[in-house]
Amino acid sequence: MKKSIALVLMLALCLSLTSALAAEYTLRTSTNLAATSTVGQGLAKFVELVNEKSGGRIEATANFGSEMGS
């Protein structure tokens, strides 16, 4: 009985660790405007807030002036 409980607890621990690792995302944002424009400043603030509020689960970056292409 104790072995089966230990096995279930170990399985639950492994599943929780797996789901925690899978929750990491990368968010790449882009605009064709300059970083100094109103839209560029808003995008930079959005990226800052996403990085702050997600607690490291989401890594957001901003690209300005069509750096990523058209």
CB-based contacts of 33, cutoff 8 Å, min separation 6: 39, 40, 64, 65
40: number of Cβ within 10 Å: 17
- pLDDT over 70, % of the chain: 70
Q: Rounded to an integer, what distance in angstroms lies between the CA atom of residue 10 and that of residue 12?
A: 5
pLDDT of 69 above 80: no
What is the average pLDDT score of the chain? 81
Query: What pTM did the predictor assign?
Result: 0.62
Per residue in 13-39, pLDDT tens?
A: 665 655 555 458 899 999 999 999 999
The predicted model gives 43-56 an average pLDDT of 92
